[in-house]
Amino acid sequence: MEILRSTKSHPTADWIYDQARKVLPSISLGTVYRNLAILKEDGQIMELSYGSTYSRYDGNPENHYHFVCLKCGRVEDVDIPVRGELEREVEKTGVGDVYYHRLEFYGLCAHCRSSRTDKPGGAGEDSR
Amino acid sequence: MEILRSTKSHPTADWIYDQARKVLPSISLGTVYRNLAILKEDGQIMELSYGSTYSRYDGNPENHYHFVCLKCGRVEDVDIPVRGELEREVEKTGVGDVYYHRLEFYGLCAHCRSSRTDKPGGAGEDSR
DNA sequence: CTTAAAATCAATAATAGTTATCAATCTAGT
DNA sequence: ACTAGATTGATAACTATTATTGATTTTAAG
Ligand SMILES: [Mn+2]
Ligand SMILES: [Mn+2]
Ligand SMILES: [Zn+2]
Ligand SMILES: [Zn+2]
């Protein structure tokens, strides 16, 4: 939980595992997954699963939106207000009861946009 | 492509495979996946990946929103207009260039809401 | 302090959707 | 008919996640 709260990077289970080993050298990946599942169940964290094969985790359990860079894979928080009114609008269509919604934006991050000088090995911070 | 266009159910690769076998009995699952990847690459279809472990496919390549039932897993189209202005709003925050966005609503579908008489085996149409 | 039950853990096996591989078959173009 | 290239079915490989297991640690009595 401390590791997850200490970063803004929406890390993968593997990255969290690496960080955890720095302080608990003998911890196993299974324990990381087990505790992430418990924290998620308890509503303290969020699991983000996009098209990728792996999940990312978010220490902020409040609903907020994300920007995913199509080039480097970075996931960043988007600083616009949550549109609660959309949920009511959807309910009016009669499709069912809406409990929550999820919104993601995809594109080219500011970091990748500026470094047009495609230097190799640029796969982002703790992407993998 | 015809199979995918003929349903509104956002099916899984497996369901498409079953349908395809009805007309091409010897087709393999690999061919289904290969052709889905080609169609997706070509922008003719969309791949929808939610929290689930498997992907669903959508014969409508135009951006539109979805409602996912937390109980039966059904995925339905949501009939509200696409909010293009959100992309511009996000770009103003300086996070990067936004190419597209994806929005999903989660809740209890009208079908599940009415059948309060929890009859077992109610896992939805072609969910799995 | 002793001891037995409960909780937690690391290590490892199992799962499952998806991809990659490859020899066989099909398709055009000549 | 001949041949190069594309497509296919069968099957193996991959990988993130989950389940299992046996051992260690923690907890709470007696
Ligand atoms: Mn976030
Ligand atoms: Mn759709
Ligand atoms: Zn980027
Ligand atoms: Zn439902």
Expressed in angstroms and rounded, the spacing between residue B1 Cα and the centre of ligand 4 is 26
What phi and psi, each to the nearest 5 degrees, are found at residue B110?
A: -55, -35
Q: At the topology level of CATH, where does A1-61 sit? A: Arc Repressor Mutant, subunit A (1.10.10)
Q: Which nucleotides of C are covered by protein (CB under 7 A)?
A: 9-13, 16-21
| CB-strand contact B29/D, under 7 Å | yes
Q: Residue A58 CB: number of other CB atoms within 10 A?
A: 21
Task: Test A49 with B51 for CB contact under 8 angstroms.
Answer: yes
Confidence of residue A53 (pLDDT cuts 50, 70, 90): confident
Number of A:B CB contacts under 8 A? Answer: 115
Contacts of B4 (CB under 8 A, 6+ apart): B11, B16, B39, B45, B57, B58, B59
> Residue-wise pLDDT tens for chain B (128 aa)?
999 999 999 999 999 999 999 999 999 999 999 999 999 999 999 999 887 789 999 999 999 999 999 999 999 999 999 999 999 999 999 999 999 999 999 999 999 998 865 555 444 444 44
Mutation target for B interface from A79, A105, A112: give the one with most B CBs within 10 A.
Answer: A105
Q: Which nucleotides of D are covered by protein (CB under 7 A)?
A: 8-12, 15-20
Tell me how far the alpha carbon of residue A123 lies from the centroid of ligand 3, in angstroms. Answer: 8
Q: What digits encode the pLDDT tens for the residues B21-53? A: 999 999 999 999 999 999 999 999 999 988 778
Alpha-helical regions (H) of chain A: 2-5, 13-23, 29-41, 84-92, 110-114
**Chain A residues with CB inside 8 Å of B94's CB?**
110
Token readout for B20 is: 């395809």
Homologous superfamily (CATH) of B63-116 is Ferric-uptake regulator, C-terminal dimerisarion domain (3.30.1490.190)
| Residue type present at position B119 | K
pTM of the predicted model as reported, rounded to 2 decimal places: 0.85
Q: List C-alpha distances in Å: B3 to B29, B30, B33.
A: 15, 16, 14
Could you list the beta-strand ranges (E) of chain B. Answer: 46-48, 56-58, 65-69, 75-78, 96-109
Domain ranges of chain A: 1-61, 63-116
